[in-house]
């Protein structure tokens, strides 16, 4: 038993590497079996019968559906391949005015400050690299994603009202451009900001279709993509734009209603997952207060370090699985 507990560092590294490899393989297997692409394939098989039959039915769509798919593909594929463009796009989606260079400099400065504070705290120096990586890459990315999600959620919340303004303006005899200008002046950000940018781009001679594509890059929501496709197709084929946008507004409100219903129904599962995920840390902290000598072996003994590493891998896999179970694509 003592020989098992006193493992050499090389064996510990090998064991941790094997555990990480198993976790990665499990993640890939789970994504392949239960991921979005697998769910989409199962839905296609259920609708069209699967295999060659599904491909034939999808390929036999009408010209109007192909036109819509082409517009959607153009909007989805308008991505610049230059290095750093994804970060620049993420900053635009978050509503930040900083450049990627400023973001990297700020992240590096924050990592240096965090590493310096960790080194001055007297803790083991082996964790300074991990602290620098988390402070320089993890925390800025987390904050950026949080700002993006908050801005997109606020845009989606008020976008249906903006479409209603356009519908009423068109029925009153106003052109679409004037309705967009009114939304840009009267509505609060980010809806008003985006429509103001679209109006300013049109005044500079940018076509409406291209201005909408730029707006979709800044606000990549399904609602704005639907709006851009409707206006692009209406400009080519004509039709009653007010009625089409009115139906689109109803669809967007129903989507929001369904999304809120799903969030309400899944709130219990999310709360349970949060409690289960935080329980080991809470118990460890309480034991550290009540019996510090009992828990301190995990942080001072080599075997304790090994057990902590194995526990971290198992906890990461468990949290990932729970997150996938409670994460609903809407």
**Which band of pLDDT confidence, cut at 50, 70 and 90, is reported for residue 34?**
low
Average pLDDT, the chain: 79
Q: Is the pLDDT of residue 148 over 90?
A: yes
Query: In 172-240, which residue ranges form alpha helices assigned H by DSSP?
Result: 176-186, 191-203, 208-218, 222-237
The pTM score is 0.61
Render pLDDT for 39-86 as a digit per residue (tens, 0 to 9).
666 666 655 555 454 455 555 555 555 555 555 555 555 544 444 568
**Which band of pLDDT confidence, cut at 50, 70 and 90, is reported for residue 5?**
very low
Any idea where the domains of the chain sit in the sequence?
Answer: 78-238, 265-330
Burial, 28: exposed, middle or buried (Cβ in 10 Å; 0-12, 13-18, 19+)?
exposed
Q: What single-letter DSSP state applies at residue 134?
A: I
| Angstrom distance (rounded) from CA 60 to CA 194 | 37
Separation of CA 201 from chain center: 28
Q: Is the pLDDT of residue 272 over 60?
A: yes
Q: Is the pLDDT of residue 147 over 90?
A: yes
């Amino acid at each position: 038993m003592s020989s098992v507990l006193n493992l050499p560092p090389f064996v510990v590294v090998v064991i941790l590497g094997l555990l990480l490899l198993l976790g990665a393989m499990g993640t890939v297997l789970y994504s392949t079996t239960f991921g979005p692409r697998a769910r989409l394939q199962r839905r296609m098989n259920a609708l069209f019968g699967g295999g060659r039959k599904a491909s034939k039915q999808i390929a036999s769509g009408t010209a109007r559906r192909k036109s819509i798919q082409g517009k959607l593909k153009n909007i989805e594929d308008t991505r610049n391949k230059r290095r750093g463009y994804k970060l620049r796009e993420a900053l635009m989606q978050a509503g930040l005015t900083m450049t990627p260079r400023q973001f990297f400099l700020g992240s590096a400065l924050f990592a240096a400050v965090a590493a310096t504070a960790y080194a001055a705290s007297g803790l083991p120096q082996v964790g300074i690299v991990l602290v620098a990586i988390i402070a320089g890459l993890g925390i800025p990315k987390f904050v950026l994603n949080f700002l993006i999600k908050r801005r997109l959620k606020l845009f989606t919340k008020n976008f249906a009202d903006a479409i209603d303004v356009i519908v009423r303006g068109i029925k009153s005899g106003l052109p679409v451009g004037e309705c967009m200008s009114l939304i840009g002046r009267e509505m609060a950000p980010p809806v008003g900001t985006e429509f103001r940018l679209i109006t300013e781009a049109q005044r500079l001679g940018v076509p409406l279709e291209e201005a909408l594509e730029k707006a979709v890059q800044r606000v990549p929501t399904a609602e704005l993509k639907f709006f851009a496709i409707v206006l692009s197709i209406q400009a080519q084929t004509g039709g009653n734009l007010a009625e089409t946008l009115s139906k689109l507004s109803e669809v967007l409100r129903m989507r929001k209603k369904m999304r809120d219903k799903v969030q309400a129904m899944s709130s219990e599962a999310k709360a349970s997952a949060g409690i289960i995920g935080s329980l080991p840390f809470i118990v460890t902290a309480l034991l550290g207060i009540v019996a510090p000598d009992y828990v301190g072996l995990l942080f001072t003994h080599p075997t304790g370090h090994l057990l902590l590493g194995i526990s971290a891998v198992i906890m990461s896999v468990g949290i990932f699985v729970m997150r996938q179970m409670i994460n609903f694509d809407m």
